[in-house]
Amino acid sequence: MKLSGDTYTYAQRPHIRYDAGMNTPASTVINLRTPAAQRELIDRAAQLQGKSRTEFMLEAAREKAQQVLLDQTLFSVTPKQYKAFLALMDAPLAENTALQRLLAKRSPWEK
């Protein structure tokens, strides 16, 4: 949690995709150097998916970049909202008999 003026900022993992500009025509070149074994691995995987090396590498890199960025997404709340959030987190849990029953069972690997 970071305090910025009268606003608290929290990290979160939203379940959205970041696709800004992903449908525009390619106009930038990215050059890479890699060991031959790594290129062969990428080529085999791309072939299995019916994609070119470029398509495969860009898709993999884009997915990883999205994951990294989404892990760093922040949202801000006011002190009042933060206090309400803390109250919810500190409140006792409601009775959940189904969960208690599940947790009382032995795990399959313990049988």
Domain with 86, as residue range(s), is: 2-110
Mean pLDDT, rounded, of the chain:
83
pLDDT at 15: 45
Dihedral angle, C-alpha 22, 26, 28, 30, nearest 10 °: 80
**CA–CA gap between residue 67 and residue 70 (Å, rounded):** 5
Q: Does residue 7 have a pLDDT over 50?
A: yes
Question: pLDDT tens digit string along 80-95?
Answer: 999 999 999 999 989 9
Q: Give CA angle at 79 (73, 85), nearest 5°.
A: 70
Total count of domains within the chain? 1
pTM of the model: 0.49
Cβ–Cβ under 8 Å, residues 13 and 73: yes
Residues 59/51, Cβ–Cβ less than 8 Å: yes
pLDDT tens digits along 29-76: 999 999 999 999 999 999 999 999 999 999 999 999 998 888 887 778
